[in-house]
Amino acid sequence: VLLSCLFALGAEQDDKNETIRYYAKLIREETSKAYKKPWPQDSYKYAPKEKGTINYGTFDHIIVGAGSAGAVIASRLSEDASRNVLVLDAGGYSNNFSDIPGMLPYLTGLEEYNWGYLSVPQNTSCLGMKNNQCTMTRGKGIGGSSMINGLLYVRGNRVDYDNWYREGNDGWSYRDVLPYFKKSEYFP
């Protein structure tokens, strides 16, 4: 019995070591690519390559952008099974690398996760940057910028919601929006 327990522990340790090796290799490969390519200067790279169109059917709602807001809107609309909802997004899906919170600085330097936008030239900020332009990190993919936010989720400040309500925005007090926060925080 002791021998079989030791064997099982050894096998479990081998699995852990394999997982560690996998992630170490993944991190090495992905971080080495960050900030190596020049960012696109225009949108021609993203122009359609195919000729013609494909008919995917008729939809009641088309959501452009599968970021935090687009995904929530699509989810809510699709709760009604009679609705056809199409979600369009130019980027890809998250993966094992983008799901590591500590990789945030590298994700922003990889064009498959970040659009690489720059601000317009500034007069009072970004003065030490090339052309006085700041990097404007915007997520590219399913989840949008939430895909590269370090896996943080933060509710808005209670005071802000209550101020909006006091300014005449019925339904926007913190107490009013709290059930929606809780609904979106459900993880089966």
pLDDT of 167 higher than 80: yes
pLDDT for position 134: 92
pLDDT for position 66: 93
Q: How confident is the model at residue 6 (pLDDT cuts 50, 70, 90)?
A: very low
Q: How confident is the model at residue 8 (pLDDT cuts 50, 70, 90)?
A: very low
How far apart, in Å, are the Cα atoms of 31 and each of 23, 54, 86? 12, 37, 34
Tokens (6 digits) for 35: 């900030």
Decide if 108 contacts 98 (C-beta within 8 A): no
pLDDT for position 161: 98
Q: Is 126 strand, coil or helix?
A: coil
pLDDT for position 12: 62
pLDDT in tens, 25-68: 999 999 999 988 887 777 787 788 888 888 999 999 999 999 98
pLDDT in tens, 96-108: 999 888 888 899 8
| All residues at 6 or more sequence positions from 98 whose CB lies less than 8 Å from its CB, including other chains | 107, 113, 141, 147, 148
Whole-angstrom distance, CA of residue 77 vs CA of residue 61: 8
pLDDT in tens, 168-186: 999 999 999 999 999 888 7
Residue 82's nearest CA partner among 59, 62, 65, 63 is: 59
pLDDT of 2 higher than 50: no
Decide if 86 contacts 61 (C-beta within 8 A): yes
Q: How confident is the model at residue 1 (pLDDT cuts 50, 70, 90)?
A: very low
pLDDT in tens, 86-132: 999 988 998 999 988 888 889 989 989 999 889 999 999 999 999 99
pLDDT for position 120: 95
